């Protein structure tokens, strides 16, 4: 198991530089998204509302998917949640 950690850790450390924005894109982005995204920054205030709405939608979807996976109200022993949780 330790061998896997010694292999995966350097790959993750080197890979983080791959996903960061380049210097030209850092200059185009606002302070909050400067190191995370490529391309031009938001062009209007509506762009922030769209991003916020999508983030909220994603969090609500994650909450309900975990809620119904862990406690779906199904008592059947052959329910799919038992296959996932008893991995």
Q: What is the mean pLDDT of each run of 10 residues along the chain (87 residues)?
A: 67 64 74 74 84 94 90 76 70
Which pLDDT value is given to residue 3?
A: 67
Which pLDDT value is given to residue 20?
A: 67
* pTM exceeding the 0.95 threshold for the entire prediction: no
Which pLDDT value is given to residue 76?
A: 78
CB 42: neighbour CB atoms within 10 A? Answer: 16
| Secondary structure of residue 76 in the 3-state scheme | coil
Which pLDDT value is given to residue 51?
A: 86
Which pLDDT value is given to residue 24?
A: 75
Q: Domain of 48? A: 2-85
Q: Residue 66 corresponds to which tokens in the numbers above?
A: 């975990």
Q: How many domains does the chain have?
A: 1
């Amino acid at each position: 198991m330790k061998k896997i950690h010694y292999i995966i850790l350097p790959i993750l450390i080197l890979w983080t530089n791959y996903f960061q924005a380049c210097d030209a894109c850092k200059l185009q982005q606002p302070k909050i998204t400067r190191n995370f995204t490529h391309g031009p920054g938001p062009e209007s205030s509506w762009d922030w509302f769209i991003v916020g709405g999508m983030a909220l939608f994603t969090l609500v979807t994650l909450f309900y998917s975990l809620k119904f996976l862990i406690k779906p109200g199904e008592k059947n022993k052959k329910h799919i949640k038992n296959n996932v949780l008893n991995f």
